[in-house]
Amino acid sequence: MRFRQRAPLGILLVLVFCLSVGNENALGQSNQIDDTQSRLVQAFVMVQQADLEGASPAQISLLANNLNLALGYEDNATLLFSKDINASNFYASKSASLSNATSAQALSLTSAARTQIFLNQVAAYSIAVAAGFGSALFVLELDRLDNLVRRMRLRRTRLD
Amino acid sequence: MLLLLFGSFSLVYSSVAYYSLSRPPSQEFIAWGIFSPSGSLSNYFSGAGANVSVGQTLDWHFAITNQMGSIQYVKVIYRLANSTSPNPNATVPASIVPQLGNSSVFIPNGRMAFVNFTWSVTSKSSQGGMIFINMRINGQQVSPPVGAVGGQRFRFFFELWTFDIASSSFQYGYRGQSSRVGVPLQVWFNSA
């Protein structure tokens, strides 16, 4: 009698346990895809930053290819989520690792681009200042130069 | 005197340096179109008028050009509407019209990206004079809740959305000089 009374309760408990484990698993997968998406967005933000800082179009194009590949993996992960959780996991982790690698490359490109821009600015303004000094000196010493040229011409005519 | 001349010349040459180092101003925009298999902006139904029969597969593609000054994360949203559905416009998407799916792509500045749009009508059903269609779009089966009288004058709405870093979400259109600019496309068809 006791067994008969407790059996449905036991089955119910087992069912609830199974469902809760299933939900946790599904929630975990969903979180993994969410994480993949946020890493992809983070990578995009970093690449755009590198682009705006002046990284070369060829380098940005390479990073864009990586981003599109990571996006493809993420799409696969989402499509396979309800069909094959292991395959979905596989693609989600591939997407996440590629996004991370792209972020790191973009960060180093940003740093290199900033340094390059700084060096370009230093070079350009140094040349501007040097040219300013040279021009000022040239204007001030124009009379002396003129005299020098005259003397040289005079010497030539005397020699002739 | 030397100092005055030096200052003046340096100012002039520094202005030249600043001008040469600055990015030239440009009008930022994203242009796009939907192309038929022949690569044109017409003849979408291979000479069959605008009639699409069950099982007929149509291979279209979007060509999207990014001239926004930096890489963009672009999403194309597609919806199925009928002749009475509200249109998307330059400022508002057709959010009331159900979404069939979307495709995303990253496009570097100054480059063009191609996005496939392969679709077919897999089956259709009739309900009170309205024809409802089931479709396959890029390998995904979809059953839009929109019908059309006699299967005539269905239309696709295609909307371009771009990822906005400030709000960390996709926003309709692209960032214009003063506000966002929506550039929706539409293609009419009949379910034959």
pLDDT tens for each residue of B63-75: 999 999 999 999 9
- How confident is the model at residue A6, as a pLDDT? 60
Domain spanning B26-191 has what CATH number? Answer: 2.60.40.10
Give this prediction's pTM: 0.82
With helix as H, strand as E and coil as C, how does chain A read?
Answer: CHHHHHHHHHHHHHHHHHHHHHHHHHHHHHHHHHHHHHHHHHHHHHHHHHHHCCCCHHHHHHHHHHHHHHHHHHHHHHHHCCCCHHHHHHHHHHHHHHHHHHHHHHHHHHHHHHHHHHHHHHHHHHHHHHHHHHHHHHHHCHHHHHHHHHHHHHHHHHHC
Q: Does the beta-carbon distance from A136 to B71 stay under 8 Å?
A: no
**ipTM for the complex shown:** 0.89
In a mutational test of the A interface, the residue from B23, B66, B71, B112 whose CB has the highest number of chain A CBs within 10 Å is: B71
Q: Do B165 and A67 touch (CB under 8 A)?
A: no
Nearest 5°: the CA angle A16, A19, A22 is 150
Determine the pLDDT at residue A126.
93
Rounded mean pLDDT, A59-66: 97
Is the torsion defined by CA of A111, A117, A120, A125 positive or negative? Answer: negative
Compute the residue count for chain A: 160
Helices (H) and strands (E) in chain B, counts: 1, 14
> What is the predicted pLDDT for the residue at B133?
96
Contact assignment for B5 to A135 by CB distance below 8 Å: yes
* Interval B19-69: pLDDT, tens: 888 877 788 999 999 999 888 988 898 876 899 999 999 999 999 999 999
- Chain B residues whose beta carbon lies within 8 Å of the beta carbon of residue A67: 73, 106
Residues B111-126 have pLDDT tens digits of: 999 999 999 999 999 9
Cα of A155 to nearest chain B Cα, Å: 31
Average pLDDT, chain A: 85
CB contact under 8 A, B11 and A60: no
In the predicted model, what is the mean pLDDT of residues B164-178? 94
Supply the pLDDT for residue A157: 85
Q: CA-nearest residue of chain B to A116?
A: B21
Q: So what's the pLDDT on residue A25? A: 45
Instruction: Check pLDDT > 70 for residue A11.
Output: no
Residues of A in contact with B163 (CB under 8 A): 41, 44
The residue-averaged pLDDT of A73-82 equals 93
**In the prediction, which pLDDT does B48 show?**
67
Q: Kindly report the average pLDDT of chain B as a whole number.
A: 93
Q: pLDDT at residue B93 above 70?
A: yes
B8, containing H or E segment: helix B2-21
Return phi, psi of residue A153, to 5°: -65, -40
Residue type, A5: Q
- The β-bridge partners of B137 are B119, B140
Q: Where are the domains of chain B?
A: 26-191
Question: Does residue A121 belong to the interface with chain B, where contact is any CB pair within 8 Å?
Answer: yes
Cβ-proximal residues to B181 (8 Å cutoff; 6+ apart), any chain: B29, B90, B173, B174, B175
Give the residue-averaged pLDDT of A4-19: 52
